[in-house]
Amino acid sequence: MKDFWDERYGAEAFAYGEKPNEFLKEKLSMIPHGGTVLFPAEGEGRNAVYAATEGYNVSAFDMSALGREKALQLADKAQVTIAYKVADLASIAYDEETFDGLVLVYSHFPAAIREQGFKKLCSYVKPGGKVIFECFSKAQLQYTSGGPKQLDMLFSLEEVKTIFSMLEFDVLEEKLITLEEGLYHNGKGSVIRFTATKIAS
């Protein structure tokens, strides 16, 4: 998997463009301004850099060192700083209840690790912290606008409710949208989106 992403991010062009995801752009202000935000599987950094330009304290990680290089280039261009680690979901570690927000934009992980992985990521969020999520639904297999081709890496509403049981959903929906994100996310796409608040344990 690392080789796949290194190849995709090794090209000169930004695979998913330099502009932030539209849902993130719309919902980011739910996280208190100036707060700490974690961006897992952040690739070339378009969303993390956007949040930094909006005044947030941004941390990110991805398994691809080439993705990190592109992200840091984008951050330099925008004259902001992001803390970006090279690590996969299994090896990444932050202190629990550290972040005011968690952003999961097209964070698709293998089925064998994704439920525990998402629970781990949510453990890094403070009680009352916000989670912003947009990923492809299982219906995405009907469309050619991007995303994994393995059904078990895609999401249903019921799976999302089960995986993220530690959250209280503000908005949770499956929606057909039009994607215009760089080279690899273009056209009609079926996504599941939510914003949610971490419940105090």
pLDDT of residue 71: 97
Q: How many CB atoms lie within 10 A of CB 55?
A: 11
Are the beta carbons of 191 and 177 closer than 8 angstroms?
yes
Are the beta carbons of 38 and 52 closer than 8 angstroms?
no
pLDDT of residue 82: 98
Please list the ranges in the chain whose pLDDT falls under 70.
Answer: none
Task: Give the pairing of strands 125-136 and 185-198.
Answer: antiparallel
- CATH number for position 192: 3.40.50.150
Range of the domain at 28: 2-198
pLDDT of residue 155: 98
- State which amino acid sits at residue 147: G
Are the beta carbons of 168 and 199 closer than 8 angstroms?
yes
Domain count, the chain: 1
pLDDT of residue 184: 87
Element (H, E) at 163: helix 157-163
Q: Say what the pTM is.
A: 0.96
Between the alpha carbon of residue 183 and those of residues 58, 71, 73, 158, the distances in Å are 25, 17, 19, 31
